[in-house]
A and B are shown apart, each in its own frame.
Chain A
């Protein structure tokens, strides 16, 4: 099992479409429009959540800070970045936390299949590395 996939995105249709596709792929998905409810949900379900898809521009906190926070609280979690910003570059400290350029997905995604591939791979990684 891959556990829950956490989606944080303020754009409802993006959130819904991702959720729909991933669910069709048989993945368990929870989606929030901002960081705070996601943190609330994680307090109980963090152990069952392996992968988080994080938007950058969010109403209550920017994506980078959220990743730092989540990573600090729940080091077992892996992150994928899904951003609409053209000028986004990966901060150095996130690279240090194991994020690479290939974890960055730019909107609009024509095909969500690669994203699914990445999620499965990261979940499998967590399986091996408890």
Chain B
């Protein structure tokens, strides 16, 4: 049996692979039985053929003859047997040889089969174990096979895949990106291999909707080179895609956020190259973000010092590994505007390079700085405004405590703003203490209160001040401001002007009635002179009449003297003279026409006045003008002055008289008067300077007031200087001023406008 098995083994081994050795035993026995029968019949037929005389060693079956004899039958029985035996032997040898060959082939086959099986198993294991799957398509590009992995991964059922094309699995994707699919389809239709084709499945009812798949494929051809379809692998990259998408979105979000930040955000590596920059930064450099990245500010920033400073700061942060705040730095942007930045620099490890880099956040402070400067400038400007105001300004709160002082107020109080702040204003300005009631009233009622010409006493001197208290208007600033203007000078000038006006009207009146007054005054004065002359014993006419009447003139004279009659007469004369003088002075106040104005030789005029002074009755008698030395300091550049000669002579004479009088009163040891002329740009200056007793400020301020006199009653009319003032300022449009200090003499300055050819 084993022998027989061996004998027939090649047969089934040569049969199609469908016949396998592991089929059931009864099947194999039947096969063998059939084979034996065939062999027996064959042997019989061979013997028949040989009796018919065809005896040659042919192996092929012979057809069975119909007529056989006995001998022939015996012969026919034995011979065929022998032939059969021989055939069998032959067959056996043939078979043995064949069997050996087949056995060799079989073992080889088995080895290959084993290897194939192992490879198959390995392939299956690998297929099932990896995330990839295997697929096959037929020549119509419809799926014929997909490994289990595909179904497990995608959750798609086989019936919705097999027999369909790939684009049918990804309908939505196909419509989204038809080009991609058209290319893919064309590729497949041209039977070309492809790699890493990615698409998204959208099978309806699929729980895992929208899986991303990546496939590779290769066309299959049969031995004749005919296209039989495709075979390939596929993998699910949904997770990978999702992660990538999420990463991309996250990066986009971060990008958007840093681009939204209005500050400059950027990172630079140790070489100064931008690793990151937001849009604000790029805009500051006048570039796009893409243009900035990987470039150093050295190549794109115009101001070298700024670049070097910024990079030096970067280096410092990298080296010290500590953050740095730069409170203020300048940065010139691409438009050339200098900006002020506040920059924070923070070191960090750049993930890609694994090196220290610097993250910077720079806030543009330009506007803030400008605003701050503007506020400071404005504050200074406002302070300047209130400081420059000539009025004293005192800001107080509702309780009277000082909040603000301007410069004149500081000057008036002798206290700085800082020192006075918070103190009660009545304590700092005792002269205004009574104004507290007004402060409260003003805050309560919201209306300012004015007190014009309030009399104040400072250092024993009387002052006039206009005081105004007004409430603060701002919403929350409760308080008031006290404004005080010293109007003393104005009040004085005003009162002087009032006086002058009065004098002018008096002058006008005097001019009208001068004739009426002068005649009686003439009668008085001439009468006194005649009386005195006619009672004297010296005049021959007197003696003649006295003798005729038998009167002793000497006795009469003695009588008149002893009874004081002569003194009374002298008194009448003097009183008349004084009245005449007053009338004359008053007449000076009347305005006169300019017709009397003429160019006058200045030096000549001064000399005339000096002669007049020397011959003046009063100066000669009372003040001893000859004792006073006269110093002349004439400006040679001045020749002529345009004026009313007699008027100016009167003024200068008046000044000389006053000087002489003052010096005589105090017995100045070496009395001297200097007459000085000086050409000023617009004026002719005439000065009368004495070395007499001088005046204090109080007197000095009032000397030009009419009827103000320092002389004892009767010594002067009190009109001299006011008349002079009137003549110079009103009639000559000039100025008359005086400077003096007690014990240091006085200086009176007459300034007359320089007209035309005054120099020639």
Chain B residues with CB under 8 Å of A11's CB are 519, 522-523
- Grouping DSSP codes into helix (H, G, I), strand (E, B) and loop, the A interface class, with mixed when no group exceeds half, is loop
Cα-based distance from A18 to B525 in the complex (angstroms): 11
Chain B residues with CB under 8 Å of A87's CB are 511, 514, 590
The reply on A40 being an interface residue by CB < 8 A is no
Complex contact A13–B514 (CB within 8 A): no
Q: How far is the CB of A25 from chain B (nearest CB, A)?
A: 10
Complex contact A84–B527 (CB within 8 A): no
Cα-based distance from A22 to B573 in the complex (angstroms): 19
Chain A residues with CB under 8 Å of B523's CB are 11, 13-14, 17, 108
| Chain A 73-94 interface 0/1 with B at a Cβ cutoff of 8 Å (1 = within) | 0000000000111110000000
Residue of B nearest to A17 (CB): B526
The reply on A21 being an interface residue by CB < 8 A is yes
Interface size grouping (class) on chain A: 20 to 34
The reply on B541 being an interface residue by CB < 8 A is yes
The reply on B524 being an interface residue by CB < 8 A is yes
With A84-B514, A86-B511, A108-B576 known as contacts, the answer to whether A20 contacts B522 (CB < 8 A) is no
Taking CB atoms and an 8 Å cut-off, the chain B residues in 580-623 that contact chain A are 580, 583-584, 587, 590
Chain B residues with CB under 8 Å of A61's CB are none
The reply on B533 being an interface residue by CB < 8 A is yes
Of B518, B520, B529, which contacts A106 at CB under 8 A? Answer: B518
The reply on A102 being an interface residue by CB < 8 A is no
Chain A residues with CB under 8 Å of B573's CB are 110
With A11-B523, A14-B526, A24-B534 known as contacts, the answer to whether A108 contacts B580 (CB < 8 A) is yes
The reply on B81 being an interface residue by CB < 8 A is no
The reply on A111 being an interface residue by CB < 8 A is yes
Cα-based distance from A32 to B521 in the complex (angstroms): 20
The reply on A112 being an interface residue by CB < 8 A is yes
With A11-B523, A18-B526, A86-B587 known as contacts, the answer to whether A108 contacts B518 (CB < 8 A) is yes
Q: Which of A11, A84, A85 has the most CB of B within 10 A?
A: A84
Residue of A nearest to B576 (CB): A108
Complex contact A84–B518 (CB within 8 A): yes
With A13-B523, A108-B518, A108-B524 known as contacts, the answer to whether A20 contacts B530 (CB < 8 A) is yes
The reply on A109 being an interface residue by CB < 8 A is yes
Q: Which of A14, A107, A111 has the most CB of B within 10 A?
A: A107
Chain B residues with CB under 8 Å of A13's CB are 520, 522-523, 526-527
Q: How far is the CB of A102 from chain B (nearest CB, A)?
A: 13
The reply on A120 being an interface residue by CB < 8 A is no
The reply on A126 being an interface residue by CB < 8 A is no
Cα-based distance from A47 to B263 in the complex (angstroms): 123
The reply on A103 being an interface residue by CB < 8 A is no
Complex contact A107–B511 (CB within 8 A): no
Chain B residues with CB under 8 Å of A109's CB are 522, 525-526
Chain B residues with CB under 8 Å of A84's CB are 514-519, 522
Of B514, B519, B521, B534, which contacts A86 at CB under 8 A? Answer: B514
Chain A residues with CB under 8 Å of B580's CB are 108, 110
The reply on B577 being an interface residue by CB < 8 A is yes
Taking CB atoms and an 8 Å cut-off, the chain A residues in 25-84 that contact chain B are 57, 83-84
Residue of A nearest to B586 (CB): A86
Residue of B nearest to A88 (CB): B515
Complex contact A107–B519 (CB within 8 A): yes
Of B511, B514, B517, B534, which contacts A20 at CB under 8 A? Answer: B534
Cα-based distance from A102 to B705 in the complex (angstroms): 33
What are 17 pairs between A and B in contact, CB < 8 Å?
Answer: A11-B522, A13-B526, A17-B522, A20-B530, A20-B534, A21-B530, A83-B515, A85-B518, A86-B590, A87-B511, A87-B590, A107-B515, A107-B522, A108-B525, A108-B526, A109-B525, A110-B576
Question: A: which residues have CB within 8 A of B?
Answer: 11, 13-14, 17-18, 20-21, 23-24, 57, 83-87, 106-112
